[in-house]
Every structure is written in structure tokens, then in C-alpha cells.
């Protein structure tokens, strides 16, 4: 894990949202951080290269576009874990996938452009892996402030 400079921390603290939509947005954001546009661009590139950031840009909310976002899980037998991971990850509809400690040991998020896409993706995973998939669609989302500051 790499050390973060004070400026990098400031970028992480201030730039997880509210990036402006204007002609020179990096210049505007840089001004608020007290650095130059050039420095901000270089630091963002470095943070992306070092994988401190996974992305810099808009985060889309697929439900608002008529699509669906569903958490699902399955219990992969230990001796088949890598094979099942490869089968699940092969679907572009799988946005994230985490190994977790539980009998249900693989938890993934399906993101599809249409609501029907979820059932299709689940059917496909069940067919490919031969394992039952549990779907946990959200029934209600409680408001959270989703911004974690760097603590290194």
C-alpha cells in the first residue's frame, strides 16, 4: 500500500463528489484545493495508476435508467471456487464480486440495463455453475453519506 501525501488526502477528501460541470472543471477543482490544474491532473493520473482510485468520473445509478442492480450470492464448494469465480465473473452484468466468509461465500452485484436482465443473468449463472443463486434485491435504501476519507 502506498503512502499518501497531504495533497493526495485532500483530493480524496474533497473530490469524491461535486466535481464541476464546466469548461475547465479540473482548474476549478484545483483552485478549491489550492493547487494548479496541471498538478491536479498529474496527481489524479498517478492515483489511478497506483490503483488508489478505481475511477475518476460519473457514478451512474442504473435503476434511474430503467435498469436494475441486485445483490446475489451463492455457495461455491471450496474445490470449485476458482472455476465458479471465473464463470460468474465472465458475465459483463457482474459489476462487483467479493469472497466472503460464510456458507454463502460468493457475493456479487448484478447490474443490468433492463429489469428482465437480472433474471436472465441469474438463470445463466445457475446453468453454468449448477449452483442455486440467492437474489437479494433491495426493497428499500436508507440514506447514507458514502464518502470514506483516507486514513493512512
Partner 1 sequence: MIDDIDRTLIVATQGGLPLVPRPYHAVAEQLGLSAEEVMRRLKAMLETGIIRRIGAVPNHYAIGWTANGMTVWDVADELVDELGERIGALAFVTHCYRRPRALPAWPYNLFAMVHGASRDECSAKAGEIRALLGDACRASDILYSTKILKKSGLRIAS
Q: Which of 6, 79, 101, 127 binds partner 1 (CB under 8 A)?
A: 101
Beta-ladder partners of 68: 112
Residue 100 within binding range of partner 1, rule CB under 8 A? yes
| Closest alpha carbon to 72 in 124, 145, 143 | 124
Taking the C-alpha atoms of residue 76 and residue 5, their distance in angstroms, rounded to an integer, is 41
Q: Which of 62, 120, 128, 131 binds partner 1 (CB under 8 A)?
A: 62
Q: Which of 6, 34, 59, 79 binds partner 1 (CB under 8 A)?
A: 59
Binding mask 103-132 for partner 1 (x = CB under 8 A): xx-xxx--x-x-------------------
Strand 106-112 and strand 134-136: the pairing is unpaired
Binding-site size, partner 1 (CB under 8 A): 79
Q: Closest approach of Cβ 14 to partner 1, in Å?
A: 9
Which residue shows C-alpha cell 435508467?
Answer: 65
Which residue shows C-alpha cell 456479487?
Answer: 108
| Closest alpha carbon to 149 in 39, 2, 4 | 4
Q: Which of 6, 34, 78, 140 binds partner 1 (CB under 8 A)?
A: 140
Q: Closest approach of Cβ 132 to partner 1, in Å?
A: 10
Q: Closest approach of Cβ 50 to partner 1, in Å?
A: 7
Q: Which of 18, 34, 78, 79 binds partner 1 (CB under 8 A)?
A: 18
Contact by Cβ (8 Å): 134, 126: no
Residue 48 within binding range of partner 1, rule CB under 8 A? yes
Rg of the chain (C-alpha set) = 19
Amino acid at each position: 500500500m502506498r503512502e499518501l501525501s497531504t495533497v493526495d488526502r485532500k483530493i480524496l477528501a474533497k473530490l469524491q463528489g461535486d466535481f464541476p460541470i464546466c469548461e475547465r472543471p479540473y482548474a476549478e477543482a484545483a483552485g478549491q484545493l489550492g493547487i494548479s490544474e496541471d498538478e491536479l491532473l498529474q496527481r489524479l493520473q498517478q492515483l489511478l495508476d497506483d490503483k488508489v482510485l478505481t475511477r475518476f468520473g460519473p457514478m451512474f445509478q442504473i435503476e434511474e435508467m430503467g435498469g436494475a442492480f441486485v445483490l446475489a450470492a451463492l455457495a461455491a464448494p471450496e474445490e470449485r471456487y476458482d472455476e465458479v469465480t471465473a464463470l460468474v465473473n465472465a458475465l459483463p452484468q457482474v459489476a462487483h464480486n467479493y469472497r466472503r466468509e460464510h456458507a454463502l461465500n460468493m457475493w456479487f452485484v448484478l447490474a443490468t440495463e433492463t429489469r428482465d436482465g437480472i433474471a436472465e443473468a441469474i438463470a445463466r449463472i445457475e446453468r453454468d455453475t449448477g449452483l442455486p443463486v440467492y437474489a437479494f434485491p433491495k426493497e428499500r435504501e436508507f440514506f447514507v453519506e458514502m464518502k470514506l476519507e483516507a486514513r493512512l
